[in-house]
Homo-oligomer: A and B are copies of this chain.
Amino acid sequence: MCRLMGYLGSPVQLDRLLNKPEHSLIIQSYEPREMTSGVVNADGFGIGWYHLHHQTEPYTYKSTLPIWNDVNLPSLSRYVETGCVLATVRSATTGQALDLSNCQPFQHRLILGTHNGFIADFRQTLYRPIRDRLDDIAYQAIRGSTDSEHIFALVINELEANPDLSLLEALHRALTLLRKLAADQQISFSANIILSDGQQLVASRFAERTATPSLYWLRDDPLFPQAVLIASEPLFSSNWVSCPEHSILTVNHELDIQIHSI
């Protein structure tokens, strides 16, 4: 389990997303409210963001420390201004290493992705079957050893094979393959995922044979006008909407929201 958030909209200082909210990711790292497993999210964290003006590869900042202990984050949060950001505080599954390579969000070219959930007994179940289905580019791009990165690799594999595919379609295909592989072995998994290419957010709330983790969205809040927020837990009291289970939420550049059943 991890806690995730995504933001798309008018320019915002990172500080306002990470530190200011009353139930920010920093608070969620030591006092989360809706975890389906695990107790704290103190196994590192990561942030990925896009440039306000230039369409270049996104930027990432990662650490294996609890987010509240990072000495650089206050400076970075004051400095970064962005219209599109993903962030994660990690709760590592037992047995998965604390390596920086395992910190999310993952990046591949213009794409950022982050995952909250798990594949049951990953190393003994879908680790090898997933890898065996990857083309060389996605295979060689894997840097760490987590289930999360391997699910991200399934998405990247679709995009590399079909460059014109939408993020929505790539995520849908990846989840469909994951379902099939999991069904073969009758194992459980959960896959709350947020993806972005800097122009849109695409997020799934999905699980099979286990509880579906929570996921919420909020649009045009007075605190964040002209913006959409997606988060594992509401960052502050407002009219957050719970995403339906077994669905994919898309937010385009005009902040239109659509919900697609899986």
Q: Which residues of A contact B (CB under 8 A)?
A: 30-31, 39-40, 42-43, 51, 56, 59-66, 69, 71-72, 75-76, 78-80, 92, 97-102, 123-124, 127-128, 131, 136, 139-140, 142-145
Which residues in B have their C-beta under 8 angstroms from that of A100? Answer: 71, 97-99
Closest residue of chain B to A57, judged by CB? Answer: B78
CA distance A138 to B189 in the complex (A): 24
CA distance A140 to B66 in the complex (A): 26
Task: Tell me how many chains of this kind the complex includes.
Answer: 4
Other A-B pairs beyond A59-B78, A97-B100, A99-B99, 6, CB < 8 Å: A56-B78, A60-B75, A62-B72, A65-B98, A98-B100, A127-B140
Which residues in B have their C-beta under 8 angstroms from that of A143? Answer: 97, 145
Q: Which of B39, B61, B98, B131 contacts A76 (CB 8 A)?
A: B61
Q: Which of B31, B59, B63 contacts A79 (CB 8 A)?
A: B59
CA distance A63 to B92 in the complex (A): 18
Q: List 9 A-B contacts (CB under 8 A).
A: A60-B72, A61-B72, A61-B76, A65-B98, A79-B80, A97-B101, A97-B143, A99-B100, A128-B139
Most buried by B among A51, A62, A66, A79: A79
Q: Which of B65, B76, B97 contacts A59 (CB 8 A)?
A: B76
Cβ of A65 and Cβ of B64 under 8 Å apart? Answer: yes
Most buried by B among A61, A71, A102, A139: A71
- Shortest C-beta distance, A185 to chain B (Å), equals 13
Q: Which of B30, B71, B99 contacts A42 (CB 8 A)?
A: B30
Which residues in B have their C-beta under 8 angstroms from that of A69? Answer: 43, 64, 92, 98
Q: Which of B40, B92, B145 contacts A144 (CB 8 A)?
A: B145
Cβ of B66 and Cβ of A42 under 8 Å apart? Answer: yes
Per CB-CB distance, the 9 closest pairs between chain A and chain B, nearest first, are A99-B99, A59-B75, A59-B79, A97-B101, A69-B98, A123-B140, A42-B42, A99-B101, A61-B72
